[in-house]
Amino acid sequence: MVSGTLFQCRRNSWPPEEYVSRATLQLLDDDSAAPPQQAWRRRLNGHAKFLKEFSVTFTEAIKMVRLGLRLWSYVREEASYGRKAPIDPFTKESTKPSASQGVPLGGMGSGSISRGFRGEFRHWQILPGLCDASPVMANQYSIFVSRDGGAKNYASVLAPGGHEDLGKPSDQGISSWGWNLSGQHSSYHALFPRAWTIYDGEPDPELKVSCRQISPFIPHNYRDSSLPTAVFVYTLVNTGKERAKVSLLLTWANSIGGVSHLSGDHVNEPFIGGDGVSGVLLHHKTAKDNPPVTFAIAACETQNVNVTVQPWFGLSEGDSVTARDVWLKMTRDGEFDRENFGTGQSMPSSPGETPCAAVSASVWVEPHGRSTVAFAVAWCSPRVKFLKGSSYYRRYTKYFGTSENSAKELVHYALTNYKKWEEDIEKWQSPILMDPKLPEWYKFTLFNELYFLVAGGTVWIDTPLTPENSRHYQHHLGNDENTNINITAAEFNPKDSAVVELMKSSYVGTDGMASENGENGHPLRDDGGVALEELHCPAAFVEPYYVSDDVGRFLYLEGVEYIMWCTYDVHFYASFALLNLFPKIELSIQREFAKAVLSEDGRKVRFLAEGNCGIRKVRGAVPHDLGTHDPWNEMNAYNIHDTSQWKDLNPKFVLQVYRDFAATGDMSFGVDVWPSVRAAMEYMEQFDRDKDGLIENDGFPDQTYDTWTVHGVSAYCGCLWIAALQAAAAMAFQIGDKEFAEICKAKFLKAKYAFEAKLWNGSYFSYDSGSSSNSRSIQADQLAGQWYTASSGLPNLFDDHKIRCALQKILDFNVLKIRGGRMGAVNGMHPNGKVDDTCMQSREIWTGVTYAVAATMILAGMEDQAFTTAEGIFTAGWSDEGYGYWFQTPEAWTTDGHFRSLIYMRPLAIWGMQWALSRPRAILEAPKINIMDRIESSPVGLISLLHHHEPGVRKIGSRKKCFGSSALHCAC
């Protein structure tokens, strides 16, 4: 249970002095060894309580029984092929989720390992889409201290003992080690991508130890931010009168999580590298024909630091060297034999064995002196393979090659460059951390929510699709019935720098790539341009419109429980993080979806909610996701509803594209994706059935709230639509498509009037225009379109009074009526002050939506209300009195704190708040006059444009240079 003080008090600061003595902080105040003033903090003896998962009510279960049966059948069918269904609520992890998470290791897209705040290495995501949450307890740091005279000796694992997986102390395994740390005087301080663990006199009262964990997550650095490595820098301060020999030990199992170490054929190998970097390579043979993985554990030898290794030891009594032997050797000598470096590769492990390795670094610390020891860990799996066969090389192979042995080069690079990483990280974070106007909780939560870009199952590949992948996919399609994939694509002629949209689609067969002599198999026109509409390949294999910015291709999961890549309705909220920090990746994702809009995949799919069938991907519809087991090639892994009928995806695409276009000033990007923007807008015309300019929902959950039914015009989708109309008009005007700009302007004016007439009730926009019991509910997310409009520098959709009035209503009802505002904004609230319990999602608090509402408040000049709203997510999710969701922020929790879907993408929307607080110059200096007033035409002409839209070949505009006021780098 949560403490009763959770909703009764408010803290304004979490000073490090509450966790570490002032004297120790002063001793460590050098070379970044001391924890920062702003950080998330815990004591190591803090209890990692188990988390409580949500459950559906009896009424909700009855409503979903048919869906549940179909989903159960689908999960079993996928399991029969050795695959995990993208949504599987029936299979539970063997490790019960607990409040134990900490800052993950490594950069983005190369597999990740998390580290709990008490020191355990857990949540292994080395293979794409697979996550093993259980800790590998053999992976530990330990310390051994002996002082001159031998009267005082200490030996302990640097993590609290008492873990249920340790076994009996009499064993030959890790239970025989000294688990002597109480954690009472040790503390953890997290400010992603770094973390500090301070041992304030534990286990040696006269030795202060700081362990600083550093990962290469560096905004705008597209090289180092892809590296699968982390550094651990130990600072040792001797406050005693005797000289102390301090030996630090890193032990590591040859495992990628779970029981993978038991499969056999794993090999360990010592190495000595350059610049004093030495350690052990652990070659791991994966199961099920997955690519191999090699770990490197290493330390840096200096004039004062001596590095030795134990290349192999086991955890069982029959092993030639056991964990107990390792501990006794370190306790006696403080180091291993130097000859161990010459032992070469070990024999492959037998099934059932747990091969481990160890690296020791020892140093003498003088009385009142200090020393530094640096370790590094790297994991190298250069090739990423998805379950349906497609394989790619990861991004970092562009710089370190495709051999698993490059793990050795990775640890060397990390140990010789981490100081520069820290300089860049501090330069990035300091302006925010030093801003006195920002609440302290917001500063460190803003950075810590970025954990998801490492631990959210990210995949970052270097190269585009290869011929092997193409042939595999063609063969795969050939075995499916009803294959019918069409492409309408943009044609770009580099000679005249013009873009022409071909508004006709052509059938693309499954007989392989075109056989002409164009580059990458593309047929060439006489003028040298690539005629994309002539490609004979699946739509997914149309190359990006242009690739002058080489950032590879990037995927991240909706969540570790919802295994779908780049889920677009959720990316709508999360994308502010990428746009702020890695804008080239954000533009590359938008290009992927722009290509997808113009493709069609005619393979049949059964939709589980209703049991009806349809095709996998409809031309003109934005896909829900880029796939699960064959991303890019097999999109729309989500099969609960037919998302081609969803009303939010297409407007969200248009809004994101315009925001990115306006923020980066990248005219090339705008010109390239414009055909898809126009196609997405035209696709939505079918949903305006009464011709009032507004799209209507169809009486089922046809948007991101996929259990919450909507009837008629809805506040959420309707607001997104009118925002998209304005954004499309603005973009069309800047691209040069004046005709379409005028069409969108006419629809915008008409739709805006209808929207307000149907939904504005005097204080907020009603949930929908239907007559159901919740049609007048107060939806927290009712101004999502206004959020993007203001974020993009466009004129407000409604007058200021209505915007502020609706936001105040949300604050008063959805926020403050739930535990005094200490939990975030509940999705739905009746006007009588009762939570809307129409369905599971209406009664939930969505963390990312709460951040989005707060961002909208900031843009409306309501900063105090914004931070009050968002602080509820911190209090319930991150504070020490809360529910324990740090570094695993879920999609949702109920009003009693039970979670749904841990480690979820949408909470990255907190960066929407930061965007609102510090919009780039290109947005702030946008023309102040209404863009709609710049599109001139007579009322008669506008009306006629709504009825006469000529398809065909149309010149859109010339490529132009970027906007001069852009604050971000573009590709021009």
The DSSP line for 727-781 is HHHHHHHHHT-HHHHHHHHHHHHHHHHHHHHHHB-SSSB-SBSS-STTTT-EETT
Write down the number of H helices and E strands in the chain. 22, 34
Distance from C-alpha of 783 to C-alpha of 827, rounded to nearest angstrom: 12
- Pairing between β-strand 490-493 and β-strand 498-501 as defined by DSSP bridges: antiparallel
Indicate the helix (H) or strand (E) that contains 845.
strand 845-846
Task: Compute the Cα dihedral for 706, 709, 711, 716 and give only its sign.
Answer: negative
Label residues 544-573 b or e (16+ Cβ within 10 Å = b): ebbeebebbbbbbbbbbbbbbbbbbbbbbb
pLDDT at 170: 59
Cα end-to-end distance, the chain, whole Å: 56
**Three state DSSP letters for 922-946:** HHHCCCCCCHHHHCCCCHHHHHHHH
181 secondary structure, DSSP code: B
Distance from C-alpha of 587 to C-alpha of 581, rounded to nearest angstrom: 12
Contacts of 564 (CB under 8 A, 6+ apart): 86, 557, 558, 624, 625, 626, 627, 628, 637, 638
pLDDT at 881: 87
Q: Is 636 left (phi over 0), alpha (psi -120 to 50) or beta?
A: left
Distance from C-alpha of 329 to C-alpha of 685, rounded to nearest angstrom: 75
pLDDT at 550: 82
Task: Compute the Cα dihedral for 89, 92, 98, 99 and give only its sign.
Answer: negative
pLDDT at 930: 62
Distance from C-alpha of 915 to C-alpha of 913, rounded to nearest angstrom: 5
Q: Where are the alpha helices (DSSP H) in 39-170?
A: 58-63, 65-80
pLDDT at 389: 80
Task: Compute the Cα dihedral for 476, 479, 481, 482 and give only its sign.
Answer: positive
Task: Compute the Cα dihedral for 662, 668, 673, 677 and give only its sign.
Answer: positive
Name the pTM for this structure. 0.89
- Pairing between β-strand 954-958 and β-strand 498-501 as defined by DSSP bridges: antiparallel
50 secondary structure, DSSP code: B
- Taking 50 as the pLDDT cut, the residues of the chain under it are 1-9, 465-485, 487-548, 929, 937-945, 947-972
| Residue 554 backbone dihedrals phi, psi, to 5 degrees | -125, 135
The answer to whether 179 and 388 are in contact (CB under 8 A) is no
pLDDT at 463: 67
Distance from C-alpha of 212 to C-alpha of 31, rounded to nearest angstrom: 10
